[in-house]
Structure 1
Amino acid sequence: MPDYATPNLPSRDFDATSRFYKQFGFTESWRDVEWMILKRGGLVLEFFPHPELDPATSWFSCCFRMDDVGAFFEEIVRAGVPVQTTGFPRTHRPKQEESGMTIGALIDPDGSLIRLIQTQGSK
């Protein structure tokens, strides 16, 4: 198996976090009172309980490097996550940055920033 990393993100409520990510095809592969792991293909998110977290002050983040950021973004929008600059959850439309990379964002209900990055050579 190749080396890989999995981000560890906070969750104020495992049930709510699981329901939110399920909308985008994530399923639970592990859960107990101290830890939850969600998977969608090669994407893995691990969550720890942080019930007192204020989403507005969260500094947690990770990147999804994807073959088709546009398709994933459309899944987010179809699930009802608003495209806006404030509030939780929300999403930001992918756009080509000065670097030449296409990047969007998903901010989850706990304020974690998920950068959506188009992999090179893909759509």
Structure 2
Amino acid sequence: MPDTATPNLPSRDFDTTEDFYAQFGFECGYKDGGWMILYRGPKGSRAVLEFFPYPDLDPKSSSFSACLRLDDLPAIMAQVTASNVPQGHIGLPRFHPPQKEASGLTIAYLVDCDGSLIRLIQNN
């Protein structure tokens, strides 16, 4: 198995967080009172998000974020678009559709219900 790193993000409520990310194909691989791990995709090439409890988090002042580098950005964007998450620049949750940025990368932005910013980046 190659070396990997996974983002650790806050969650005010694990069930709410799990339900939110399930809309985009994430499945719970582990959950107890102190930690939750969500997976998306097949083993060996899957995206992983890990969550710790933070019940007093103010989502409007959250500065937590992570990048998910994906082989198929359009597939997850189809799920985001089909979900109840609104497109916009304010409110929680929300998303911004993908666009090619000055870096040459195509990036979409998803802000979850706890205010964490997830950058969805198309692998080149």
- Kindly, what percent of the aligned residue pairs are identical? 57
Q: Deviations over 1:24-51 (max 9, x none)?
A: 1111111110001111121111100001
Q: Does residue 51 in structure 1 map to residue 55 in structure 2?
A: yes
Give SS of 1:100's match. Answer: coil
In the TM superposition, residue 70 of structure 1 has moved relative to its aligned partner by 2.2
Give me the CA root mean square deviation. Answer: 0.8
Q: Deviations over 1:62-86 (max 9, x none)?
A: 1111112122112111012111000
C-alpha separation in 2, matches of 1:71 and 1:31: 26
In the TM superposition, residue 98 of structure 1 has moved relative to its aligned partner by 1.1
| One-letter identity of the residue aligned with 1:20 | F
C-alpha separation in 1, matches of 2:24 and 2:104: 26
Match of 1:115 in 2: 119
Q: Does residue 90 in structure 1 map to residue 87 in structure 2?
A: no
C-alpha separation in 2, matches of 1:92 and 1:115: 10
Q: Does residue 29 in structure 1 map to residue 29 in structure 2?
A: yes
Structure 1 gaps of 5+ residues are none
| One-letter identity of the residue aligned with 2:30 | W
2:81 to 74, 77, 83: 77
Give SS of 1:77's match. Answer: helix
Give SS of 2:113's match. Answer: coil
C-alpha separation in 1, matches of 2:34 and 2:20: 19
| One-letter identity of the residue aligned with 2:72 | D
Match of 1:2 in 2: 2
Structure 2 gaps of 5+ residues are none
| One-letter identity of the residue aligned with 1:103 | I
Segments ≥4 residues shifted beyond 3 Å: none
Q: How many residues align?
A: 120
| One-letter identity of the residue aligned with 2:82 | R
